[in-house]
Homo-oligomer: A and B are copies of this chain.
Amino acid sequence: MAKVDPSLVAHLPLFAGFKGEELDEILREARSARYPKNGHVFEQGGDAHSFFLLLHGHIRAAKTTPTGEQIVVRYVAPGETFGLAMAIGLAQYPATATAVDDSVVLAWPTGTWPRLVQKFPALATNTLQTVGARLQETHTRVLEMSTQQVEQRVAHALLRLAKQSGKKLDHGVEIDFPISRQDIAQMTGTTLHTVSRILSGWEQLGLIEGGRQRIILREPHKIFVLAEQNAGGGQA
Contacts and interface: CB of A to CB of B under 8 A. Distances in A.
Interface of A: 63, 65, 67-69, 71, 73, 84, 87-90, 94-95, 117-118, 121, 124-125, 127-129, 131-136, 138-139, 141-143, 145-147, 186, 189, 230, 234-235
18 contacts: A63-B139, A67-B147, A68-B235, A71-B143, A88-B128, A89-B133, A90-B132, A90-B136, A95-B139, A124-B124, A124-B125, A128-B128, A131-B135, A135-B135, A141-B142, A142-B189, A145-B146, A145-B189
A64 to B, nearest CB: 9
B135 A63 contact: no
A129 B91 CA distance: 12
Given A88-B135, A128-B128, A128-B131, 9 more contacts: A65-B143, A68-B235, A71-B143, A73-B142, A89-B133, A117-B125, A124-B128, A141-B142, A146-B189
A236 to B, nearest CB: 12
A128 B67 contact: no
A interface SS class:
helix
A88 B132 contact: yes
B147 A94 contact: no
Contact of A121 (B118, B131, B138): B118
A80 to B, nearest CB: 14
Contact of A65 (B65, B84, B90, B147): B147
Q: How many copies does the complex hold?
A: 2
A141 B134 CA distance: 14
A149 to B, nearest CB: 13
B67 A139 contact: no
Contacts of A147: 65, 67, 69, 71
Nearest to A117: B125
Contacts of A94: 136, 139
A138 B142 contact: yes
Contact of A139 (B73, B129, B132, B136): B73
A22 to B, nearest CB: 15
B135 A134 contact: yes
Contacts of A146: 69, 71, 145, 186, 189
